[in-house]
């Protein structure tokens, strides 16, 4: 007999998007923590990532988190063009904004902290701004991961393209795991449970 779908999700697909820049040059940089979270979710739930439908500029994979159907999205565009990847995939899978989760770095969130937000402004993040522009608004979920502030007068645009120090990297590996936990909680148990988990995270 088929297992009943939990009433919290009603069988509706969630789109989980990890923002970052493509290519080996950017692996491990602060700007790419969103992609790291999506890669981890793919590993945890045995979801293979492959070319997106309709020639969208992303690698995607379909699967389930618990019993909730999800599509993981790793854009292959540069950060500033993330919306060009997200919007056609959302349309293809008929996913409304309230079931889209965008996970990304944030320099205004303290290092190692995770915030769960819905329907807020872009916070000056170019990738989020691109998604909002292409989706016609910011009524999607955001998982913000604090990656630290640039020291002194360093340009934030340069700072986020740098890799973490050794100690920071160890901490961020832990934070990426918790961010994946938070997303799992969001799509399975709802926003309050996800926020409680995010708020309880300590380095």
Out of 31, 64, 104, 125, the active site residue is 31
**Per-residue buried b or exposed e for 2-30, using 16+ beta carbons within 10 Å of the residue's own CB:** eeeeeeebeeebbbbbbbbbbeeebeebb
Residue 125 falls in the annotated catalytic set: no
Burial class from Cβ neighbours inside 10 Å (0-12, 13-18, 19+) for residue 64 reads middle
Q: Which two tokens stand for residue 115?
A: 């915030």
- Quickly tell me which residue has 């080996």 as its tokens: 24
Residues contacting residue 134 through CB under 8 Å, at least 6 positions apart: 83, 84, 86, 87
Residues known to be catalytic: 31
């Amino acid at each position: 007999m088929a297992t009943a779908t939990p009433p919290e999700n009603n069988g509706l697909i969630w789109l989980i998007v990890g923002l970052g820049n493509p290519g080996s040059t950017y692996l491990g940089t602060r700007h790419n923590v969103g992609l790291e979270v999506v890669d981890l979710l793919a590993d945890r739930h045995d979801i293979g990532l492959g070319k997106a439908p309709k020639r969208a500029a992303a690698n995607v994979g379909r699967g389930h988190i618990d019993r909730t159907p999800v599509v993981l999205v790793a854009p292959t565009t540069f950060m500033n063009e993330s919306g060009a990847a997200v919007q056609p995939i959302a349309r293809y899978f008929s996913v409304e904004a309230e079931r889209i989760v965008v996970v990304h770095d944030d320099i205004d969130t303290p290092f190692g902290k995770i915030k769960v937000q819905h329907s807020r402004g872009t916070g000056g993040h170019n990738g989020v701004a691109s998604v909002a522009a292409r989706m016609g608004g910011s009524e999607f979920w955001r998982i913000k991961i604090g990656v630290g502030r640039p020291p002194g007068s360093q340009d934030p645009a340069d700072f986020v393209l740098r890799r973490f120090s050794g100690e920071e990297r160890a901490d961020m590996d832990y934070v990426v795991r918790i961010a994946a936990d938070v997303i799992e909680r969001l799509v399975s148990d709802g926003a309050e449970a996800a926020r409680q988990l995010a708020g309880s995270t300590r380095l």
